[in-house]
Amino acid sequence: MISSTAGADSITDPGAAQDMHGYRAHAIEPDAIARALSYALAQPSDVDVNEIVVRPARQR
């Protein structure tokens, strides 16, 4: 998973930086990750959340 805050600004290789820019075009905003985790944490104690898959909707 890559979020829009994933520190890619420090990449010094021009080719790698361009590749990361294209990759980050499909990044998930941190707020979306927080909402998914909040949903899981808000479940009642008799619900066991074992796995969460979060990905951009365009990646379905």
Q: How far apart are CA 50 and CA 30, in angstroms?
A: 21
Q: For 3-53, what is each residue's pLDDT tens digit? A: 555 566 677 888 887 777 777 777 788 898 999 999 999 999 999 999 988
Residue count of the chain, please give it: 60
DSSP 39-57: HHHTS-TT----------G
Quick one: pLDDT at residue 19?
A: 78
